[in-house]
């Protein structure tokens, strides 16, 4: 029997690309494609869902909280996150929330197909570099404290912080994330409060240190 997959992402083009990719594999079947977390919740009541391949940023929704809730209420379903947010920060948070894997957008077709098969079989999927980091962090037992300040950020806030680290101004962030400039400014103020910094310059420095492009 084919593995049943539901796609969850704000971007229709990405969902269409994934549906075309998975649709060409005999043992995989895309049974749903939705843009909002609440639509996925409806799928659970109507369909058998083996694997959810999903994004992480949804305006007005906390995807990490949703993953935690879904993994508890639907323990047989596996969650593979496909995102452009920095895996050094987000992969751990996804796994902590009950997700089963984290791959960067832009991963190869073979990596995506293999990722679906591996999480469906009960495995955990992350890049080799992140797997090494997680093992090193586990042996040291210190990273949870070091990363605590980021644990309170929503996926949307992490996305904004990541774009700040890449040098984007408010207007560019607003365009990339389809938000208003006012929403970006409000988000930056929340980030300052949560990360205990007092200026935009300090926020930029922190973003560059932890989330800027490497």
* Per-block mean pLDDT, blocks of 10 residues, the chain (214 long): 94 95 94 94 92 91 91 95 85 88 92 95 83 58 53 81 81 87 90 86 75 49
- What CATH class does 152-210 carry? mainly alpha
Contact 56, 85 (CB under 8 A): yes
DSSP 8-state assignment for residue 202: H
Domain boundaries, the chain: 3-137, 152-210
Give the model's pLDDT for residue 169: 83
Distance CA 30, CA 203 (A): 41
3-class secondary-structure state, position 7? strand
Print the SS3 string covering 24-88: CCCCEEEEEEECCHHHHHHHHHHCCCCEEEECCEECCEEHHHHHHHHHHHCCCCEEEEEECCCHH
CATH entry 3.40.50.280 includes domain 3-137: no
pTM here is 0.74
Strand partners, 8: 34, 54
Contact 83, 57 (CB under 8 A): yes
Distance CA 155, CA 90 (A): 8
């Amino acid at each position: 029997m084919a593995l049943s997959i539901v796609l969850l992402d704000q971007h229709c083009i990405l969902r269409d690309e994934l549906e075309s990719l998975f649709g060409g594999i005999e043992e995989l079947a895309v049974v749903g494609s939705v843009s909002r977390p609440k639509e996925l919740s409806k799928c659970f009541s109507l369909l058998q869902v083996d694997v959810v391949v999903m994004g992480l940023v949804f305006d007005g929704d906390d995807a990490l909280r949703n993953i935690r809730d879904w993994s508890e209420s639907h323990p047989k379903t596996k969650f593979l996150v496909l995102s452009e947010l920095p895996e050094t920060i987000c992969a751990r948070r996804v796994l902590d929330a009950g997700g089963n894997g984290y791959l960067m957008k832009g991963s190869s077709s073979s990596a995506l197909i293999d990722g679906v098969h591996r999480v469906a079989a009960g495995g955990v999927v992350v890049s080799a570099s992140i797997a090494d980091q997680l093992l090193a962090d586990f042996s040291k037992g210190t990273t949870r404290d070091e990363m605590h300040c980021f644990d309170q950020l929503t996926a949307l806030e992490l996305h904004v912080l990541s774009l700040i680290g890449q040098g984007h101004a408010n207007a560019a962030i607003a365009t990339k994330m389809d938000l208003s400039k006012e929403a970006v400014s409000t988000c930056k103020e929340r980030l300052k409060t949560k990360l205990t910094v007092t200026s935009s310059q300090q926020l930029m420095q922190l973003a560059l240190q932890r989330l800027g492009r490497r």
